[in-house]
Copies of this chain bind each other. A is one copy, B any other.
Amino acid sequence: VRQTLLVPELRELLKSDDLDTLRRFCRQAHPESVAELLSGLETPEIWRVLHCLDVPLRAEIFSHFDLERQVELVTGENRREMARLLEEMSPDDRADLVQRLEPQIRDEILPLVARAEREDIRKLVAYEQGSAGAVMSTDYAALRPEVTISQAIEQLRLQAPDKETIYYVYVVDENRRLIGFVSLKDLILARPNQTVADVMHTDVISVTVDEDQEQVARKIEKYDLIAIPVVNGNGVLVGIVTHDDAMDIIRQEQTEDIEKFMAIGGRHEVGEYLRTSALAHFRRRVVWIMILAGLGLVSGMVVQHFESTLMSLLILAAYMPMLADTGGNTGSQSATLVVRALALGEIGPRDVLRVISKEFFVALLLGLVLAVLTFGKVFFFSQGVQLPHGVTLAKIAVAIAMALGLQVISATLIGALLPLGAARLKLDPAVVASPALTTVVDITGLLIYFTTAKLLLGI
């Protein structure tokens, strides 16, 4: 059997109607690889390949296309066949797909889906986006505590083909309340005549159905789980979230955090850069850019306010950009570290004093180094500057250096405090986007700069 194929070869096989080879390839390769390869074909071609496979494998490969592609493919398929496919797909994947379909198409297909699966779809679609319920699968393996190990393994053998995983098996009582779990490893290691109750772990780590998906992923990560059970308010087992879903969640949250932090709005989807139209990109970016430009005008007003100071000492203008940049940079650094530590749960709003004292010390060092160097730059490399009456170059150098030091300290503290404040208000710390911070410390920086100059130089 050929292990890998290329799109032209695939087309060749379709043309020469060599469906046997195609079928063998699809069975042997990983469904992800098959889907990746098929993505290079047109919709009707994809369906020709999928139709020569049995429905379970077809559903498996279909689930590995990305969601946009799945939606496209649905339109090219007979409604009744599509309903068959949905029945075979895993519950979480098909719920995601149904949620993305046009209402009209959904209403045509759903009535054709078998009753049990249709109910399951309705239930999963109803959970709030981003909750454990919305990402969970309902295909989990479950056992009763009183069965023996050999019966349990026999039951799993029957359940296995339809389940998302059989490596973790959940133990439920007569009301389907979660009372324990066993791993397949436990079952393999146990004596055949023991009961499930003998070997099960009763300290099950679980999540509730309305818990945030990020919490779910964090628990799977923390406890190194293959899957985590999801229970409703009464402790009844309603689904599981698997380790691969947790990874997808981590990727998605990561994209969201970075984009938010860099002042990009809208939906934060993984891997949609090229597929998003320029107009949609524009819409995601324009709002923040306008708000920030508005804030930038405030900086301008500060400059205008100190017009006479600037006029009488134009050398101040030459250090304005450096002052603004440095404030933005030091502020962004501290904000990044604090936002990250908050996101990973290393610190919380209660740690405000520890963070502030640490950042203050860092800022003091940074401010000192920069102030000394700036003093040197102004004092020794400012030949030919026209000085107003009564002002010496040394005085100017001191004023600029001092303003820079103060700017570094205030910007660093603002950068650390704003995300902590957001967290205390139960907001996402990443709303304190780095560009917004840069623009804000621009304003405070210019105020510090001109006030210091005015006070020290008396102009």
A contact set with B: CB distance below 8 Å: 3, 28-30, 32, 153, 156-157, 160-161, 166-167, 184-185, 188-189, 201-203, 205, 220-224, 226, 243-244, 246-248, 250-251, 254-255, 257-259, 261-264, 270-274, 278-279, 281-282, 285-286, 288-290, 292-293, 295-297, 299-301, 303-304, 307, 310-311, 314-315, 317-326, 328-330, 332-333, 336-338, 340-341, 344, 346-347, 351, 354-355, 358, 361-362, 365-366, 369-370, 373-374, 377, 434-435, 438-439, 442, 446
Contact = CB atoms under 8 A, between A and B. Distances in A.
Nearest to A323: B296
Nearest to A329: B435
Contacts of A254: 250, 254
A435 B334 CA distance: 13
B320 A290 contact: no
Contacts of A373: 290, 293
Contacts of A442: 321, 325
B303 A318 contact: yes
A369 to B, nearest CB: 6
B189 A362 contact: no
A325 B292 contact: yes
Q: Which of A202, A271, A325, A338 has the most CB of B within 10 A?
A: A325
Contacts of A3: 202-203
A301 B328 CA distance: 19
Contacts of A222: 32
Nearest 7 Cβ contacts at the A-B interface = A296-B322, A299-B321, A273-B341, A224-B244, A278-B361, A300-B318, A262-B336
Contact of A160 (B188, B224, B330): B188
A285 B446 contact: no
A161 B190 CA distance: 12
B365 A332 contact: no
Q: Is the interface of A mostly helix, strand, loop or mixed?
A: helix
Nearest to A264: B333
A185 B166 contact: yes
Given A161-B189, A317-B303, A328-B438, A370 B281 contact: no
Contact of A324 (B205, B324, B340): B324
B258 A321 contact: no
B274 A297 contact: no
Given A271-B344, A341-B274, A370-B289, A247 B250 contact: yes
Given A3-B203, A299-B325, A300-B322, 14 more contacts: A30-B223, A157-B188, A243-B244, A257-B258, A258-B258, A281-B362, A282-B362, A282-B366, A285-B362, A289-B329, A296-B326, A304-B318, A307-B314, A329-B435
A29 B203 contact: yes
Contact of A362 (B157, B184, B202, B278): B278
A318 B450 CA distance: 14
Contact of A321 (B300, B333, B337): B300
Contacts of A262: 332-333, 336, 434
Contacts of A297: 322, 377
Nearest to A259: B336
A311 to B, nearest CB: 7
